[in-house]
A = this chain, B = another copy of it.
Amino acid sequence: MINSPPVDQPVIPWLDNGRPREECGVFAIHGNQDAAALSALGLHALQHRGQEAAGIVSFDGHHFHPHRDLGQVGDIFGDPSVIERLKGEAAIGHVRYSTSGDPALRNVQPLYADFHFGGLALAHNGNLTNARTLRQELVSRGALFQSTSDTEVFQHLIATSAGGRLIDRFTDALSQVEGAYSLVALSRRKVIAARDPLGVRPLSLGRLGSSWIVTSESCAFDIIGADFVRDVDPGEVIVIDDNGLESIKPLPKMKQRFCIFEYVYFARPDSLIEDRNVYEVRKRIGAELARESHIAADMVIPVPDSGVPAAIGYAGEVGLPFELGLIRNHYVGRTFIEPRDEIRHLGVKLKHNANREQLMGKRVVMVDDSIVRGTTAKKIVEMVRQAGAKEVHLRISSPPTTQSCFYGIDTPERRELLAAQHDVEGMRALVGADSLAFVSVDGLYKAVCGAARDKASPQFCDACFTDEYPTSLTDLADGTEKSQLSLLAEIGRR
């Protein structure tokens, strides 16, 4: 009996710090003799979107040159000899945190394959909601999968497409996938970029001299002195070759549903996304939060670093001093001591310390961007209180996170989400704050786009707060939500 189905071995994606983690950033450049060096710099600017692994593939007119590894961009691409080997005037790059796909090296993007028409490297940010379904169909037709990454589904769809030209095969593949993706590809002749029809993940077009660049966030233009040109449109496919840039829109036109959580937490504050400066949006959310839920206090403190802009906005709105009541230690190595039980509770202090003399006897409004499981919030509230704060009022610059994301953000399963299990008062009691408030969904919308949520046709993807997913969730339909994609139990680097 060979044909028995795989044994399900669910792997629960624990988050190590109780905070949603962005999964990926992409970068592509065409027509520049420093293609790989500029890609590495761009990926460095996108490091906040994925710290687990990074890769670049360049093409020199004859060969594709890949370099991929686990680790941070500066460590992987800091050696000049690595950059020198990545020859060519076109390159694509990727930083990642694993959402789908195990952490093994074979999943590190960009992925490369030899096709009938030549080689193609692919990298994407996002998550397909019908990837497993498509994969099962492809395997049943004889396709061999080497990774557990969604990107390989794209590869097989391209390989098995009946289309003639690469671009026909490419759009054929796009037409079959559901979900969120901002994708870049490198063939022997072209750099191709594509964004899903809802435009859930960011993707921007820029220019450095005569070179075109496509990347996840505008901060990657700034680091190399490139100019921001415009966002890539939802459903747009951009093809860049020696003849210049061509834009096609082969997919059905839909109203955009950009991920509102990019504004709350993920994007870098200095990025310009959909014509909005992220830092400015966060200050407005903080101000809105203050208008909705302020309470008498002596000072406003952020949970550093992500809570800083909203705390500045909050403090400005209510005229209270903004103070550094928590000091962050930036030197946290990858792993750390697991001491005996008696001292294990010290762990949270590895990252933050309360500034005792500031907090002693004070009523404190503490601003953070979100509560996921609530464990970190509980520890920080306790730390601030132990440092002598008289009152601790926790304010959150997003609505309660009650749902998992299926579009590329590594949230826990629903049952792990504090807000899925408790109302606000219940959460307040659990984290031990004197009061707790979240910004409202409408308040968040107003801060972001100046208007309340359009219930009939929401302006953003806010499924994690509202349970209204903008696409069908095909892979969930068969009830095997967490089935393992591969029987291969690959641990570590190879």
Contacts and interface: CB of A to CB of B under 8 A. Distances in A.
A56 to B, nearest CB: 11
A376 interface: no
Contacts of A74: 331-336, 350
A63 B102 CA distance: 14
B116 A79 contact: no
Contacts of A187: 2
Contact of A355 (B115, B279, B335): B279
Given A2-B190, A74-B350, A224-B346, 19 more contacts: A37-B339, A37-B340, A41-B349, A45-B329, A47-B331, A62-B487, A64-B489, A66-B488, A68-B494, A73-B331, A143-B143, A144-B159, A222-B356, A268-B327, A268-B353, A270-B327, A270-B353, A277-B358, A280-B357
A37 B337 CA distance: 7
A47 B350 CA distance: 11
Given A64-B488, A146-B146, A339 B114 contact: no
A75 B308 CA distance: 28
A34 interface: yes
A223 B350 contact: yes
B272 A117 contact: no
Nearest to A75: B333
Given A74-B332, A331-B51, A335-B79, A114 B488 contact: yes
Nearest to A87: B489
A490 interface: yes
Contacts of A79: 335
- 4 smallest beta-carbon distances between A and B, as pairs: A74-B333, A277-B357, A142-B160, A63-B489
B339 A324 contact: no
A225 interface: yes
A33 to B, nearest CB: 8
Interface stretch (A105-113, A176-184, A195-203, A397-405): A105-113
A44 B354 CA distance: 16
Nearest to A6: B118
A76 B186 CA distance: 35
